[in-house]
Chain A
Amino acid sequence: GQQVMQIPQYQHVQEGEDFTTYCNSSTTLSNIQWYKQRPGGHPVFLIQLVKSGEVKKQKRLTFQFGEAKKNSSLHITATQTTDVGTYFCAGPEWAGTASKLTFGTGTRLQVTL
C-alpha cells in the first residue's frame, strides 16, 4: 500500500527561527492535506493542495506540492510558541471502490523562548 513518510521526526527550535517539514509519498497523490495536532489534542485540518507545483500561504505558513505530486513541504517563518505541536501530511489512496486517507508519520515541533 501507499507509504507516506515525513522528516524530520522531531525538531526543536528557538522562537523566531524558521521550520520546515517534508513529506514524501511512495505513490502519486491526487491531493495532499496538512493537519496540526496540539499536545493532548486531536488533528485539525490546515490546508489541501491539489495542483502540481501549487504553493499556498497562511500567514507565516507556506505549503508546497511537488511537481510530480509525490512530495510536499510545510515551512513556518519566524516560529512562535503557538506553533508547538505535531504536523501531519496526508494523502488519499484509491482502494478500489473509494479513497482512504493515509497519514504521514508526523513531525513534532517544539519551540522555546
Chain B
Amino acid sequence: NAGVTQTPKFQVLKTGQSMTLQCAQDMNHEYMSWYRQDPGMGLRLIHYSVGAGITDQGEVPNGYNVSRSTTEDFPLRLLSAAPSQTSVYFCASSMGGNTEAFFGQGTRLTVV
C-alpha cells in the first residue's frame, strides 16, 4: 500500500508565486489534514477535512487554500508565497479526527 503520498518532496518558490502541494491517500480515510512544521513549534494544523466537500480551518490557515473534491485527494494551495511560509509541510489522513494519523513523507518548501 502506498499510504499517503505527497508531491513534490522539495520546492523553491519566489515571493509572490503560487503553487499547489499535492496529497493523496489510498486507505479510504474520511479525515485528511495539512500541518506545517517549524523548528521549536511542533506541528501546527493549517486546514483539515472530514470528508469530500467539507473543509475547515486549523490553527494557521492564512495564506493557504484547500479543497476536497474526492476522498483520496486533498491539495494545499499557496496563493502568494511569502518567506514566512518556508517550512516543512505534512499531509496526514485518518479514519477520524481523534484516531491514528498516517503521515506523508513531507514537502520541504523554501520561499526566497
Contacts and interface: CB of A to CB of B under 8 A. Distances in A.
A104 B106 contact: no
Contacts of A48: 99-100
B41 to A, nearest CB: 7
Contacts of B96: 98-99
B42 A103 contact: yes
B102 A45 contact: yes
B103 A30 contact: no
A58 interface: no
Contact of B98 (A31, A42, A88): A31
Interface in B56-108: 56, 58-59, 90, 92, 94, 96-106
Given A42-B106, A43-B103, A99 B97 contact: yes
> For chain A, which range describes its interface: under 10, 10 to 19, 20 to 34, or 35 or more residues?
20 to 34
> For chain B, which range describes its interface: under 10, 10 to 19, 20 to 34, or 35 or more residues?
20 to 34
Interface in A61-113: 88, 90, 92, 95, 97-106
A87 to B, nearest CB: 11
Given A31-B98, A45-B101, 10 more contacts: A41-B105, A42-B103, A42-B104, A42-B106, A48-B99, A100-B33, A101-B94, A101-B98, A102-B59, A106-B43
Interface of A: 1, 6, 9, 30-31, 33, 35, 41-45, 48, 88, 90, 92, 95, 97-106
